[in-house]
Structure 1
Amino acid sequence: MSFSSLSTSYRWRWIRFQVQRRFARPRGVWSLAGPVLLQEFALVLTGTVVMAMASHLGPASVAAIGMMDALNFLLIAIYGGLAIGATVTVAHCVGAGRRDDLRAVAFSALALALCAGVLVALLLWNTRGVWIAMVLPGAEEAVKVQADRYFRWVIVAGMATSIVLTSCGVLRGMARTDTAMRVQVVMAVSQIVMAAIFMRGADGSVNGAGAALLLARCGGVALVLLALWPTLRQGAEHAGGWPVRKAFMQSILRVGWPAALESSFFHLGKIVTQTIVVGLGTTAMAANFIAFYVSNFVNTPGTALGVAATTLVGMRLGAGRVKAAQLVLRRVIRSANWSLSTMAAIVLPFSWWLAGLFGNNAEVTAQAAWLIALSCVFMPAWAGSWVLPAGLRGAGDTRYGLVVGSSTMWGLRIGAGYVLGIVCGLGVIGVWLGMFADWIVRNILFRKRMRGTAWTRHRLLG
């Protein structure tokens, strides 16, 4: 029987079945991933809008904010490691039925976040000249001046970022992704509004973007602590002694430090890659950052499903259900493959139009459009290279990701990117081809890991 011979109702049932089979399995995955998807769209939109506002201040402002945001992403990577550790520890507690321990886990995570935020801020403030020289070698003096101004705001805002991300990690471990989403969306919208106010007019500058970032993150701290307040108060009248427990801090760090180190190496590698792009000129720098923000938009379904995979795998392994954890990870990866491929197919025809939204420089637009189009073409490899390791982290399997991620980053994204971009003369496109090679090899290695059982043998709660 052909599809055309079926009745309309049967056709719709068949279409619904195919969509559920490819996008919505395992059942309920989008109840976790959906809020994260909205949150990631909001965060990517925030960066894109701020960058678009900066484009009207001139190429120096675009380059300064873009390069310092690379360091901001490095901070987020460090604090994101703590957030992952908190998510996995909380998920294992929930899966094991140990909800009475959630208060202690939350306090332990917040204590680590506060210490990390203060220490990193002090270190970066006293060495910011070194960082600017490292990420902007040979850049114009105007770019360096703007970068220093914006970096000061990024450093101070980093302390608030640490608390927000770690607290959201606790919420996600409890499957409260909707609450974490509301906090992040409000924070993103407030940053856009304040940036529009502070960056407008003749006096607009990167200081306006920095002030908006800091105020939005401080507001996020208030919101996320309010969301966690019931958990922080849970059983407080019966709990004796200091709520921070060494065992939970060790559990968070056992998962978090390899994840943080992997992300840190990854973002350091990205910074090194971007310094290669700096040597290609201001036009290449601007095109690189424009394409980066648009590609992040395409990646958002995968990022959301990665968070869901971490929580779902952690809960099932916390309950001792190894087979269920393996099954849910395979199904989430399948959903990620279809979702990312669909997003890429939608964005690809609009590559030139999207690139043109960030200014009227024809050369910048052309280079950015080619990068966006290539990113869409290679997008099918992204799920296995990024969503899959997020699921493995839910099992506490972070050291394998550290080894693979660091090796492919420095061997392919940097090494191959330099050879193709500089030695072979392909420019910024060659640098991005090195990144795509990184995606492909990571995809192969992590899928091989998933087919084994070593990643299911970690025990976090004793």
Structure 2
Amino acid sequence: MLKRENHVEIDRRKFYKTVLALVVPMALQNLINVGVTAADVIMLGAVGEKALSGASLAGQIQYIMTLFLFGLTSGATVLTAQYWGKGDHDAIEKILGMAVKAAVCVTALFTVAALAIPELLMQIFTSDPVVISEGVKYLRIVAFTYVMMGVTQAYLYIMRSVERVVVATVVYLLSLICNIIMNAIFIFGLLGLPKMGVAGAALGTLCARILEVVLVAVYARLFNREIRLRFKYVLHTDKILFRDFMQYALPVVVNEVLWGLGTAANTAILGHMGSAAVAANSVAQVARQLATVVSFGLSSAAAIYLGKTIGERKTEYAKAYAKRFLILSVIMGALGGAVILAVSPLAAAALTLTGTAKEYLKIMFFVMSYFVVGQAINTTLVVGVFRSGGDTRFGLILDMTTMWCCSILFGFLAAFVFKLSVPVVYVILMSDEIIKIPITYKRYRSYKWLNDVTR
């Protein structure tokens, strides 16, 4: 069925069919990634609150690292999706080489830090000595997964930008299965092994990352003939493309890191308000990730689909498709909020938490139910629509103002100056996505994000 929008006729059936083919595998990937975190939370929740809090806070180090990686790969996607629409495979292979090299450098730095100063890193997030001890056990093992994670994420994200989305789903699904099995064996001491608790969760993650690298290497070597990972492009960088890469990738890296540091700052603020707040927040964050798997898949689909359309120089079509993605983001956000409200009583009943932590959890789930609606809209526009056209600086400015100058600043004051309760502090910390909505919508309507960035 054809419908006229923005002075062009779009085939809605074809549009939704193509978007569905992109969103479903990427939503599954996001769900699988959440599953890895959820497996740790559920199994360590059965061990105890301190073990759960230690692993959760130690995971913030990896979380910040993945935001560096996501920034690099998202910046690369700005270029690769448009070059894909243009049909320039050689440029895409050069960008892939740059992305892999950058990912190795970033993850190597995090590996060294996690192995050399784990106690210092944990003290950023909590002052509880038992939680710090548990987190250090986790970090000293999981640090060896960082470089492997960097290589696989860089490769698979570039493949996604050229519409090779199923391979990542298969890799991450097999990794999740491996992680759950190994977690159960090591954490609870199955098959005659000793119970390892939080260290067992880290070992399970290590086994899963090794499997990911092997699967990606097999795919790259035997099955992917169109876009190859060429070591000459990893070692030798095209200077012109590198300038483009830095122009569009650097603001995304800084944006993602600031956003990630903001999320980590939220966790740190709550971390200094007691282990009950940390445990409840770790569960609430898993629920948020679970509720936004489709929304984040939608934003990635928008970046790929619109980037390709802009690369083909179909500007009016890009405007019409962007409107469709915005409508879908509202629907997906509302559904995500409903999911959070539905699972709230189940989560409180299933986990071994203190009474205080369970009370916090109920309030946090309610806050998350409307937070994910704002996050769905903002992520689809900022990460998907705007970045598809090379508008990577707007998101950086947006997060600097709404997150750091509003929610985090006032949340910090509420917690440590005015000594307000955990629920009140949490509402303030989670207010940024709601503040962003009118600002991002105004930017969308201006069409300043729509640019062809290929050479």
Fold agreement, TM-score > 0.5: yes
Distance 1:435 1:328, change over 3 A: farther
Report the CA distance between 1:74 and its aligned residue. Answer: 0.5
- Aligned positions of 1:86-235 closer than 5 A: 86-136=76-126, 138-139=127-128, 141-201=129-189, 203-229=195-221, 234=226
In 1, the alpha carbon distance for the partners of 2:109 and 2:336 equals 39
In 2, Cα distance between equivalents of 1:172 and 1:333:
21
Distance 1:218 1:194 in 2: 12
1:410 corresponding residue in structure 2: 404
In the aligned structure 1, how far is the partner of 2:309 from the partner of 2:373? 27
| CA apart distance, 1:253 | 3.1
> Out of 335, 344, 351, which is 1:351 matched to?
344
Residues 1:63 and 2:53 aligned together: yes
Paired residue secondary structure (1:31)? helix
Quote how far apart the aligned CAs of 1:335 are: 0.7
C-alpha contact (below 8 Å) 2:411/2:428 kept by paired residues: yes
Could you tell me how far 1:228 is from its partner in structure 2? 3.0
- With over 3 angstroms needed to count, the CA separation of the structure-2 counterparts of 1:252 and 1:217, relative to structure 1, is farther
Greater shift in the superposed pair: 67-76 or 97-106: 97-106
CA shift digits 1:153-201 (9 cap, x unpaired): 3322111111111111111111111112111222222111111111114
Aligned counterpart in structure 1 of residue 439 of structure 2, from 423, 429, 445:
445
Residue 300 of structure 2 is matched in structure 1 by: 307
Distance 1:290 1:446, change over 3 A: same
Separation in 1 of the partners of 2:170 and 2:117?
35
State the match for 1:7 in structure 2. Answer: none
CA distances 1:91-137 after superposition (whole Å, capped 9, x unpaired):
1111112134333332232222223322332344334333222122x
Q: Is the 8 A contact 1:70 1:271 kept in 2?
A: yes
User: In the aligned structure 1, how far is the partner of 2:146 from the partner of 2:169?
Assistant: 19
Distance 2:14 2:349 in 1: 34
Note if contact 1:168-1:180 (Cα within 8 Å) is conserved in structure 2: yes
Partner of 1:12: none
The corresponding residue for 2:323 is 330
Could you tell me which residue of structure 1 aligns to residue 6 of structure 2?
none
Rounded to whole Å, the distance in 1 between the matches of 2:369 and 2:12 is: 19
The CA distance in 1 between the partners of 2:236 and 2:417, in whole Å, is 56
The within-5 A match list for 1:290-305 is 290-305=283-298
Distance 1:378 1:102, change over 3 A: closer
CA distance, structure 2, for counterparts of residue 274 and residue 378 of structure 1: 16
2:391 corresponds to 1:397: yes
| Distance in structure 1 (CA, Å) of the matches to 2:61 and 2:364 | 22
Cα deviation, residue 26, structure 1: 4.3
- Deviation, structure 1 residue 27: 4.4
User: Any stretches of 5+ residues in structure 2 without a counterpart?
Assistant: 1-10
Cα offset, 1:232, TM superposition? 7.0
Partner of 2:24: 34
Aligned-residue offset at 1:414: 0.9
Shift of 1:420: 4.1
Uncovered stretches (5+) of structure 1, i.e. residues with no partner? 1-20
Separation in 1, partners of 2:381, 2:92: 26
CA contact 2:255–2:396 (8 Å) conserved in 1: yes
CA distance in 2, matches of 1:30, 1:354: 30
Structure 1 residue 398 displacement after superposition: 1.2
CA distance in 1, matches of 2:33, 2:236: 33
What amino acid sits opposite 1:46 in the alignment? V
2:311–2:452: 8 Å Cα contact kept in structure 1?
A: no
1:81 is the counterpart of 2:71: yes
Show CA shifts across 1:266-321 (max 9, x none).
12122222221122211111111111111211111111101101111211111222
Q: Kindly tell me the number of residue pairs found equivalent between the two proteins.
A: 438
3-state SS of paired residue (1:55):
helix
Tell me the CA shift for residue 45 of structure 1.
1.9
> Match for residue 311 of structure 2?
318
